[in-house]
Every structure is written in C-alpha cells, then in structure tokens.
Amino acid sequence: MACVDVVLDCVGAAYLQRNLVYLNVDGRLFIIGSITEFVAELNIAAMFEKRFSIQGKVTFSKRRNGLLKKAYDGCS
C-alpha cells in the first residue's frame, strides 16, 4: 500500500505506524512536531524491508522543553 516518498509528520507517536505503511522503499519520514505522545514503538523489520530513514527537527518553547525532557527521562 506504499505510495509516497516523503512524509512530513507533525502529529507524533499516534501516527508513526500509519505513516510508515504509506512510505515507499527508500522513503523519508520527517518528524517536525508532536501533538501526541513522544514515545512510540517501531517495527525494526519494517525499517530493514523498506530501507526508510527518519529525521526529526522541532523547536520548542520552554514549557514544551520540560515535556520533552520528561519523555527522554522515561526512555532511559
């Protein structure tokens, strides 16, 4: 069902798996923001199969920086 080369995601974890379904082989997922959770599971087999790349860039306010720090602290 893949049909796009690039996905710009500003939703975050809630749409991660959905976005990956639509990526073509060698596609690129750009995460440019998150209005949902910061932590998501990723199917590593899908990465190997489709050879896609993920990049992220977000600018945060001081309040959002605190939320991001909490998300990172929960991952360690």
Residue 72 has pLDDT above 90, yes or no: no
Residue 61 has pLDDT above 60, yes or no: no
Domains of the chain: residue spans and CATH: 4-75 (3.40.50.720)
Asked if residues 17 and 43 have their Cβ atoms less than 8 Å apart, the reply is: yes
Q: How far apart are CA 49 and CA 17, in angstroms?
A: 14
38 Cα distance to chain centroid:
9
pLDDT at 66: 65
Residue 62 has pLDDT above 60, yes or no: no
26-59 pLDDT tens trace? 999 998 877 888 788 888 888 888 899 988 876 6
Neighbours of 31 (CB within 10 A): 21
